[in-house]
Every structure is written in structure tokens, then in C-alpha cells.
Amino acid sequence: MEREQQKLYCQIIAHLVLVDEEVSDAEHAFLEAQMDRFEFDDAARDEILEGLDMTKPIAELAAQLTADAGADLLKVLHDAAQADDHFDERERALIGEVEAALGAAS
């Protein structure tokens, strides 16, 4: 996965973590683990979080992912949503929007 795809991937996970307006330690750790997976340094992590725009439709972001990155992301989003042992309706809706965008993009 190319670097820009990895950043976008993490931004979408960050959207999910923030959508219910409550970030648990488990959710924070999950996002950090994903950024560790891609070996992001502090500057890249800052860029990801500073570039986060919660007003931008998640479907626009998801549609920019490759098919492989999107398929992987969907699995990870379900894990992220349950990281705090609570699958909020807003998290469920966001995952549905990502699924729809990825289906339309393929």
C-alpha cells in the first residue's frame, strides 16, 4: 500500500474513533497500533491527525482507497469499532457509508 493510501486509511480509522465523540484508551491504542503498523513517525502521525476533517463525507475519503486497501480497512474498522466493547450506532453508520463507497468505487 502506498504511503498516501496508508495515511488515508488511518484518517478513516480516526474518523471512526471520533464519530461517537468519546475516545476510549482502547480506541486510542487501536489507532496508534495501526499507525505503528505503517511505521509512521511523529511528523506523519501529526499530518494524519491535523489533516482530519470531520465535516468531509467519509464516502469521499473511502472512495479514494484502492480495492485492496478498502477490503483490508473494512475488517479493521469492525475491530476498531469494538475496541472499547461498545459498537455505537454512529460507528455502525460510518462503516456502512465506507462499505457503500467501496462498493461504488469497485
Reading the chain (106 residues) residue by residue, the pLDDT tens digits are 899 999 999 999 999 999 988 888 999 999 999 999 999 999 999 999 999 999 999 999 999 999 999 999 999 999 999 898 888 899 999 999 999 999 865 5
Q: What is the pTM of this model?
A: 0.90
Which domains occur in the chain, in start order?
Answer: 3-105 (1.10.3680)
Q: Is 85 helix (H, G, I), strand (E, B) or coil?
A: coil
* Residue 2: exposure state from Cβ atoms within 10 A (0-12, 13-18, ≥19): exposed
* Contact status, residue 26 vs residue 83, Cβ threshold 8 Å: yes
The one-character DSSP state at 84 is T
Alpha-carbon separation of residue 1 from 4, 5, 6, 9, 53 (angstroms): 8, 6, 6, 10, 22
